[in-house]
Structure 1
């Protein structure tokens, strides 16, 4: 991985406002995450931290972090703290001096973070939020209980991972004591996936942001934690977060003493975006049951599982397309599945929109 990999870890666990409960995980989260991200064998990031700082120190650190970057830099910002919403539904991140009654002047607004991201020249930004959201703290506020992170922090060329959906708590572990803090379940899962290499789902020696999110989601689901991590991504190329410490699996057909089989052809640039836009417009993708039926049919052709969340249409469609493009013959299988659900004409129209190179073939 080339140079230009920078990470800023903001962790706030102590608060002067008695209405904001102390969090013992953030400092531990920052330490553990800094170790794997800064490890040259794994993340190879240049890592800076801001632990238990006042709001003006945090905003200064964030602004400086996004300043004077190059287009090819990869930036990762991790926030572990209380997340709060004001009466207008705007998201704020708490600092040590945050007053719940004075969020506009004593916290770090999500709007500020987005402004810095938008002004940054770097094309690739990963934002990770390990926060308890507003419903856990603010009652009787106006608007709904959802935190619209995609609207407030989304954008082209970035991925946003959040510890929770809507008003769930971001758990700090099973047993949190004064002398023995545990990492939060979400950040703990991220660290585990990176440290062990288990997040390398494709076994190609690299861990991209989608693989890291999938790993964390399944870890929390299998542990019975009462939270559902979420992800929004709008990227045109693979965002590699780390190397895997595991040895890559040999290509299919390879055996000791023999030359490895040729790699599967890489999809044409933009194929992920084009196929996502095309599939999102199909009637079978309008509701969660339809998307699940489509994925189940495609699973039979790919011989691999496709895990859908069933919450957001675009997120499910991206998961379907990514599963197809990761496998030799997958694009052909995807078009065949479209033909099965929507007819040969719909499949042909999608194929016609694709670039001339890549894994192609007549559907059916």
Structure 2
């Protein structure tokens, strides 16, 4: 039996209860999203839209939406409304007739939605929540509390994407006039990514749910919107949300067939990763995918990837030296690893920077092992090609060869200082490192926090503020002199001032 694609868009902007501020973006959200999802060139969904419905109509529509589905169906539910919580902290979605005092009987509870999703036979469910979950109402903001979306709504075979994290507002458009409302920032980015095809990050002609999330997140950050979308995924297969309207053409082919985006496989749109085209010249999605597979496997095996806080620190250091922010969500190891790898792939010379950051956290031997994995891939070997040093050790190219990143010198200094610091006796155990960090922070005039769990991670936490403060290296050497003596301090200074 062939799979089908269904979407339900629930938008509530007008409220009978005066305590619920009117929202002007939901109706515009629904109109714009319906257009791209229904378009046979893009989403090809069977779409139903419910605008400003009372709670009994909304709950009935949701229950009916998830009822009698087939295993291979793809279901997409979008909610744009106020998010509220009751006295027990449970999440509710406001309908047109919602009474804040009677949420159990006049709203749509997250528990109800969770039950309908759990009972549904469809293997692929995408839930988009354009609501906020904290604080009181602000002008242009939606929602009013803190909830745990992952606990309440995430589940097997589901993708949950929220407009914000637990403590932010979901902002509406800038022009909130009565006659010309804009889509919300979150839904507007979703619509734009699908409408233009720009969310097709790997240029294979298809927009996966992970690509859509990355596009929306980066779009909001680039627009300096004070909200960070979140995503939780529990899937065993790729979920394709839409085709891309951008026409990808493989190199050296000029026929019309090559210029046509790859269609969704009939009946299996949400279940499998379809064959990929080569993409336009210069983007080489297959080569990039081969690198991603090799690097993701390697990254998942690193000790510094074992817990969320370690991955967050790794992402921060990587972002410092790529010259761009790298955010990991800390929910799933492999998803965070993919985020780190993709960030490195998207910057000229980024693979070299990634290998150096791995050397910072794990040492040269591990970095060389990861490099060896990559060199088994032709495209990665070409990207990493560089004259080896006389002893055969890994030596990355200069900052000029990396396209003028300008941060390579600081990264090399971090590598050298990390190795030197790891050899100091005062770094041997967690309590000693905490005492060293406290003394250093006092001299730098800023806090230096270490966890006392992993040696190299604590050393990186110590060195980052040192390298960020003018004269920080000199201060570090003096603190080392206090803890270790003159010889060790002088040796540390020699390494810090060494040139490549």
Normalized per residue, the structure richer in strand is: 1
Match of 2:310 in 1: 286
CA contact (8 A) 2:189 2:220 kept: yes
Unaligned runs of 5+ in 1: 139-143, 300-304, 351-358
Query: Contact 1:308 / 1:316 at 8 angstroms: preserved in 2?
Result: no
CA deviations 1:301-327 (Å, max 9, x no partner) are xxxx9863255353533423666899x
Distance 1:276 1:44, change over 3 A: farther
Superposed displacement of residue 202, structure 1: 1.0
Counterparts of 1:164-175 in structure 2, within 5 Å, are 164-175=164-175
Distance in structure 2 (CA, Å) of the matches to 1:97 and 1:334: 53
Structure 1 contact 10–30 (Cα < 8 Å) conserved:
yes
Shift of 1:106: 0.9
Moved over 6 A (4+): 257-262, 270-277, 322-326, 333-337, 344-350
Bigger radius of gyration, 1 or 2? 2
Other-structure match for 1:141: none
Could you tell me which residue of structure 1 aligns to residue 267 of structure 2?
none
Equivalence for 2:193:
193
Structure 1 counterpart SS, 2:34? helix
The reply on whether 1:18 has 2:18 as its aligned counterpart is yes
Higher mean alpha-carbon deviation, 228-237 vs 54-63, is at: 228-237
Kindly report which structure 2 residues correspond to 1:227-242, keeping only aligned pairs within 5 A, or say none: 227-242=227-242
In structure 2, the gaps of 5 or more residues are 139-143, 259-277, 371-378, 382-393, 395-500
Q: Do the aligned partners of 1:288 and 1:313 also contact (CA within 8 Å) in 2?
A: no
After TM superposition, give the deviation of residue 41 of structure 1 in Å: 0.1
More helix by share: 2
C-alpha contact (below 8 Å) 1:294/1:341 kept by paired residues: no
TM score, norm. by length of structure 2? 0.59
Report which structure shows greater RCO (CA 8 Å, sep ≥6): 1
Contact 2:326 2:343 in 1 (8 A): no
- Equivalent of 1:309 in 302, 316, 327: 327
1:94: which partner in 2? 94
CA contact (8 A) 2:82 2:132 kept: yes
| Contact preservation (8 Å) 1:284, 1:342 | no
Residue in structure 2 matched with residue 59 of structure 1 by the alignment: 59
Equivalenced residues, count: 346
Give the superposed CA RMSD.
4.2
- Alignment partner of 1:216: what SS? helix
TM-score if structure 1 supplies the norm length? 0.78
